[in-house]
């Protein structure tokens, strides 16, 4: 079995009297697009900050490609590119120079970094702004610069902390597109987000973190199937007394001819429901399906929506 790209086990962290992490366990295989989903204050940023050396580890294991992130920091940090939640501000140097500095910190001399810096400036639409200072860039450009900075040493793992927080829809889609491209090129991506849609669209595996603990993990599909609250609503011409007997194998509620079936997989279970009703001569007026989302999963696990937790 191959060594996981990221392995976190029993990770704890306290700030004064607050226990921010209460034993986080996460394993991310190489090449995965992994989403760490949770509300603000759940422990997402603390987890990745410990992994990248910004926060001191208290207890537990944090490994990158099987190597300890504290003892073997030179190796582990060289494998990771990080785009943090906070945008850094440098008043002194143009962004092109800042990218060369960033490459230098990772041991890459200027002449070797040049093609990569050029490619990133071009790919992220920053070529024209190469001589600008960060304060002269728009919010969207700053985000793109931040992504370029995290990729300048061509890391195998990309860690993004809330990359689309506070950005407009257009830029969000642009960033998603770029991240998909990075993933297709083989990069392992760890993304923290509190946007359900983002995790569902991009990630092939998701862990939900709440109150300093991972409460569930799986593919978005698995999670919604297992924990979602999807449903099918069938509107009949009228209620019949024999229906409770016919539908005894289903979970449902009804009101004025509208029957709401609670199902895990609406698409898979709809044909059976429709054929049962049709076989017994029920007149179906309409059928609606409500697809489950990770929001439902979060709701069913915590009793709260992700943005109200």
Partner 1 sequence: MSPIVNWIGLWTLVKREVGRFFAVYRQTILPSLISSALYILIFGFTLQQRISEIGGVPYTLFIIPGLIMMNTLTNASANTSSSMLQMKLLQQLPDILTAPLSSVEISLAYIIGGTVRGLVNGVLVLLLGVILLDMPIQQPVMTLIFIFLVSWAFSSMGLLLGQIADSWDQLAMMQNFFLTPLSFLGGIFYSVKMLPEWAQTLSFVNPIYYMINGIRHTTLGFSDSSPTVSFLMALLLTILFTVLAMILMHSGKKIKQ
Question: Interface with partner 1 by CB under 8 A: which residues?
Answer: 15, 49, 52-56, 72-75, 77-78, 80, 82, 84, 86-90, 92-93, 100-102, 104-109, 149
Q: How does DSSP classify residue 3? A: P
Nearest to partner 1 of 155, 228 (CB atom):
155
102 SS3 class: helix
Q: Closest separation between CB of residue 55 and partner 1, Å?
A: 5
- Residues with Cβ within 8 Å of 283's Cβ and at least 6 positions away in sequence, in order, are 236, 237, 238
Cα–chain center distance at 137: 27
Nearest to partner 1 of 113, 232 (CB atom):
113
CA distance 220 to 31: 17
Would you say 24 and 166 are in contact if contact means Cβ atoms under 8 Å apart? no
Nearest to partner 1 of 90, 267 (CB atom):
90
Q: Closest separation between CB of residue 156 and partner 1, Å?
A: 14
Tokens standing for residue 218: 């799986």
Nearest to partner 1 of 109, 139 (CB atom):
109
- Strand 205-210 vs strand 231-236: parallel, antiparallel, or unpaired? unpaired
- Residues with Cβ within 8 Å of 3's Cβ and at least 6 positions away in sequence, in order, are 30, 65, 66
Nearest to partner 1 of 87, 309 (CB atom):
87
Q: Closest separation between CB of residue 91 and partner 1, Å?
A: 8
Q: Closest separation between CB of residue 104 and partner 1, Å?
A: 3
Q: Closest separation between CB of residue 302 and partner 1, Å?
A: 26
Q: With both helix axes pointing from N to C terminus, report the angle between 139-151 and 110-123 in degrees, rounded to the nearest 10.
A: 140
Tokens standing for residue 48: 């990745």
Closest CA to 280 of 245, 252, 250: 245
Nearest to partner 1 of 103, 277 (CB atom):
103
309 SS3 class: coil
- DSSP line for 182-235: HHHTT-EEEEEES-HHHHHHH-SEEEEEETTEEEEEE-HHHHHHHH---EEEEE
Nearest to partner 1 of 56, 169 (CB atom):
56
Nearest to partner 1 of 93, 280 (CB atom):
93
Q: In Å, how far are 111, 218, 307 from 28, measured between CA atoms?
A: 34, 11, 25
Q: Closest separation between CB of residue 13 and partner 1, Å?
A: 8
Cα–chain center distance at 252: 33
Q: Closest separation between CB of residue 53 and partner 1, Å?
A: 6
Q: Closest separation between CB of residue 67 and partner 1, Å?
A: 9
Nearest to partner 1 of 53, 257 (CB atom):
53
Q: Closest separation between CB of residue 206 and partner 1, Å?
A: 24
């Amino acid at each position: 079995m191959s060594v996981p790209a990221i392995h976190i086990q029993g990770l704890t962290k306290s700030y004064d009297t607050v226990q921010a992490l209460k034993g986080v366990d996460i394993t991310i295989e190489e090449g995965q697009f992994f989403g760490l989903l949770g509300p603000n204050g759940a422990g997402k940023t603390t987890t990745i900050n410990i992994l990248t050396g910004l926060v001191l580890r208290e207890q537990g294991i944090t490994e990158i490609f099987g190597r300890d992130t504290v003892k073997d920091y030179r190796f582990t940090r060289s494998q990771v590119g990080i785009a943090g939640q906070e945008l850094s501000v440098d008043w002194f140097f143009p962004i092109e120079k800042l990218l060369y500095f960033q490459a230098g910190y990772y041991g890459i001399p200027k002449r070797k970094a040049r093609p990569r810096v050029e490619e990133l400036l071009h790919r992220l639409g920053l070529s024209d702004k190469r001589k600008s200072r960060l304060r002269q860039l728009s919010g969207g450009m700053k985000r793109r610069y931040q992504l370029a900075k995290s990729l300048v040493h061509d890391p195998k793992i990309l860690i993004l902390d809330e990359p689309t927080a506070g950005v407009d829809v257009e830029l969000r889609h642009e960033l998603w597109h770029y991240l998909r491209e990075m993933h297709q090129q083989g990069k392992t991506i760890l993304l923290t987000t509190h946007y359900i849609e983002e995790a569902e669209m991009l990630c092939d595996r998701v862990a939900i973190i709440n109150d300093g603990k991972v409460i569930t993990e799986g593919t978005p599909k698995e999670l919604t199937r297992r924990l979602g609250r999807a449903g099918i609503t069938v509107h009949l011409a009228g209620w019949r007394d024999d229906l409770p007997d016919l539908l005894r194998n289903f979970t449902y509620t009804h009101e004025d001819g509208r029957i709401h079936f609670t199902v895990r997989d609406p698409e898979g279970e709809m044909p059976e429901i429709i054929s049962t009703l049709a076989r017994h001569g029920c007149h179906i007026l309409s059928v609606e399906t409500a697809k489950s989302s990770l929001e439902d999963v979060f709701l069913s696990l915590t009793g709260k929506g992700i943005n109200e937790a």
